């Protein structure tokens, strides 16, 4: 199954949740997977390299840094890969090299926050993905919610995004999200991310439900 993490808005939590979701699939669901880092910043690949250098623990999965220009030929080769393919995409949707990635994706996950700019970017991202791949399920992860804050756009955002996909349980804004690695799920966010990721796993990744 090809799972893409996408949002053209920087700081939406895309790379963070791509990394954590990969950890979750291996540690909690015992899944085999390969992570493709197509983001220009190569954050996951850099973290993976650092973890391999600094820790004796074996890697949970392999991370490959991919230039977006290689996407067309690469996507044709993924059918031979065992397990899930997790892809972290760049913070943009206006690059033609993304078209084959969107076309071959089986699930799109879009983390977002309840502010106007992130909402608008998330909506555009969903519209582009759905235009290129009309049948793809899209999952939206509301995250970085600050305790006690009132979000005026919540109802409007949820109603709009629900036209394109489903919205998971929301995730709070915690410091632990800023210090993740490719080996663990921090204990102080484990309960929250497990609830949200179980929501996704139960609906889309259990083998009997994958089409």
CATH code for position 142: 3.40.50.300
- Other beta carbons less than 10 A from residue 123's beta carbon: 18
Task: Decide if 151 contacts 180 (C-beta within 8 A).
Answer: no
Count of structural domains, the chain: 1
Q: What pTM, to 2 d.p., does this model score?
A: 0.94
Average pLDDT across the chain, whole number: 92
Structural domain range at position 161: 2-209
Which pLDDT does position 31 carry in this prediction?
A: 95
**Alpha helices by DSSP H, 36-136:** 43-54, 71-77, 99-104, 116-132
The string of pLDDT tens digits covering residues 26-41 is 999 999 999 999 999 9
75 pLDDT exceeds 90?
A: no
Residue from 167, 206, 190 nearest 20 by CA: 190
């Amino acid at each position: 199954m090809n799972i893409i993490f996408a949002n053209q808005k920087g700081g939406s939590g895309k790379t963070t949740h791509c990394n954590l979701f990969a950890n979750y699939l291996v540690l909690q669901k015992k899944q085999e997977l390969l992570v493709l880092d197509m983001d220009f910043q190569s954050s996951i690949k850099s973290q993976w390299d650092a973890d391999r250098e600094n820790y004796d623990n074996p890697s949970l999965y392999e991370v490959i840094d991919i230039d977006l220009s290689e996407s067309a030929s690469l996507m044709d080769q993924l059918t031979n890969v065992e397990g899930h393919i997790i892809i972290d995409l760049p913070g943009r949707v206006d690059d033609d090299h993304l078209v084959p990635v969107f076309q071959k994706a089986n699930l799109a996950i879009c983390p977002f926050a309840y502010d106007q700019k992130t909402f608008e970017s998330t909506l555009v991202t969903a519209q582009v993905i759905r235009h290129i791949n009309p049948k793809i399920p899209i999952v939206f992860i509301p995250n970085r919610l600050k305790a006690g804050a009132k979000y005026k756009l919540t109802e409007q955002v949820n109603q709009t995004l629900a036209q394109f996909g489903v919205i998971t349980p929301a995730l709070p804004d915690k410091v632990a999200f800023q210090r993740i690695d490719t080996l663990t799920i921090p204990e102080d966010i484990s309960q929250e991310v497990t609830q949200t990721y179980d929501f996704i796993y139960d609906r889309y990744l259990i083998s009997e439900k994958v089409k």
